[in-house]
Amino acid sequence: MEQLAARGKLIRQIDEHGESTFTAARPASLPVVLAITFVGSLGTGLLWTGVPFVAEHDFGFSKAANLWLAVAEGLAYVAVAWRAGELLRRLERRLSPRAVLRLLLAAQVMLCPLPLLGAPGVVAAAVLVSATSALMWPIVESYLSSGRHGHRLRWSVGLFNIVWTTAVAATLFLMAPLFQTQWTRLSVVGIGPCALLAMACVRWLPQRPPPHLAGARHAPAPPVYTPLRDATRLLLPTSYLLIGALGPLLPYVTSRLEVAATAATPLAATWLTVRVLAMFGMWRLPFWHGRWSTLAVGAVLMGGGFVAAAGATSVPLLITALAAFGTGHAVIYYASLYYAMTVGHAEVDAGGHFEALIGGGYVLGPLASLLGVMLGGGEQWFALTLAAIASLLAVRAWMRWRSTIQPS
């Protein structure tokens, strides 16, 4: 979901000469796409941010067990996302994208009761819903981006970002009352009603996303946008590495700080809530366009916030750290999306591979934290080391750009 990168799905019509042509079509209704995005993101939020709290609270998962679960979710996501383009093309031989979307949502409805069967059910639901999400979101995003260009596309993507980040943040507040019971697993079951609501909205979509016209004319992007895009291709997966490392640890951080169970998830949602506000600022305030300092600020905020949150010694410090973390992720994510969209790379397979790289962050992050746990502590430092290496590679993009503008 969180990796749009302007992936308009190209729908080709083969003429009698065997050449591909593109015809104009009305884009899918934006309110319908945003409605599907909101309810679908509620389900995704329950999966990625809620499951660690459920596993710890209802089933007593250890820190290591929760990290292994996060690794399994990430691997399932990567396995499907890497082949998303090919899978969609094969399915479209018999089914329209709209029908595929319905089937994926129906699968989530059937999977969501599994947590009622106990700990194995939570693991199965988390892994399988993760796999369906890896194929579902590229379809939703193709309906969003296909047939839209220039300012219209940027405006739609901005609204899309606000909607999905708001929904994901809301999930940790909505599930808080369940922590007064031993049935927080019901929050995972809530993925089903979300999927049903999304299915009700799908009927208003066209059978296929309209063509994303590759030949549409736009003003050329400034030269600096290409190296900025290259740098964000390293920083964005790195940011998800840190998210993947921190998410499974937060239930134990709040427990160490003796935060009441009913307040733990709203507190953990601090970074998600601040991320919404920062996304809005990035959307409405374009002064950051073309500036390398924007990426530097985002990377520092996210890295510093990660270390401070994982080792927080007080609730005020945790809140401050999570706010910095959320702001940093919003900056990196939105900048990456903007430069990818503006430079104009919208190939389906490239988008699937890009999504798999981000899923790889969800795998490497928990693995790095797990290594720290197995070695007896300091779990945040292994993830931070990997992030620092990737950031240094991103700095190389800046250095190459600097060398091109220096006088010979």
CATH code of the domain covering residue 398: 1.20.1250.20
Beta-bridge mates of residue 21: 13
pLDDT-based confidence at residue 393 (cuts at 50, 70, 90)? confident
Contacts of 223-227 with CB under 8 Å at 24 or more apart are 224/290, 224/401, 225/290, 225/339, 225/342, 225/343, 226/343, 227/397, 227/398, 227/400, 227/401
**Highest-confidence range of 147-161, 312-326, 331-345, by mean pLDDT?**
312-326
What pLDDT does 305 receive?
95
CA distances (Å), origin 186, targets 114, 119, 178, 252: 10, 13, 8, 21
Is 366 part of any domain? yes
- The single-letter code of the amino acid at 103 is L
Is 15 part of any domain? no
Q: Indicate whether 342 pLDDT > 80.
A: no
Q: Indicate whether 408 pLDDT > 60.
A: no
CB atoms within 10 A of CB 184: 25
pLDDT-based confidence at residue 124 (cuts at 50, 70, 90)? very high
C-beta of residue 70 within 8 angstroms of C-beta of residue 362: yes
The DSSP annotation for 204-271 comes to TS-SSPPP--TT---PPPPTTHHHHHHHHHHHHHHHHHHHHHHGGGHHHHHHHTT--HHHHHHHHTHH
Is 12 part of any domain? no
The model's pTM:
0.85
Is 19 part of any domain? no
Mean pLDDT of the chain: 84
Is 8 part of any domain? no
Alpha-carbon gap, residue 199 to 154, rounded angstroms: 26
3-state secondary structure of 13: strand
Q: Which residue has the higher pLDDT, 262 or 141?
A: 262
Find the domain containing 337 and state its range.
26-405
What pLDDT does 11 receive?
33
Mean pLDDT value of segment 211-221: 59
C-beta of residue 169 within 8 angstroms of C-beta of residue 236: no
Is 16 part of any domain? no
Is 394 part of any domain? yes
Name the helix (H) or strand (E) containing 14: strand 13-14
Burial 299-316 (b: 16+ CB within 10 A, else e): bebbbebbbbbbbbeeee
- The single-letter code of the amino acid at 259 is V
What pLDDT does 6 receive?
36
Beta-bridge mates of residue 13: 21
Q: 13 φ, ψ to 5°? A: -120, 125
What pLDDT does 25 receive?
64
- The single-letter code of the amino acid at 288 is W
Lowest-pLDDT choice from 50-54, 167-171, 402-406: 402-406
Q: What's the domain count of the chain? A: 1
Q: Which residue has the higher pLDDT, 354 or 382?
A: 382
Q: Which residue has the higher pLDDT, 283 or 6?
A: 283
pLDDT digits (tens, 9 = 90+) for 44-84: 888 888 899 999 999 999 999 999 999 999 999 988 988 87
pLDDT-based confidence at residue 216 (cuts at 50, 70, 90)? low
- The single-letter code of the amino acid at 164 is W
What pLDDT does 8 receive?
37
Q: What is the DSSP letter of 50?
A: I
Is 4 part of any domain? no
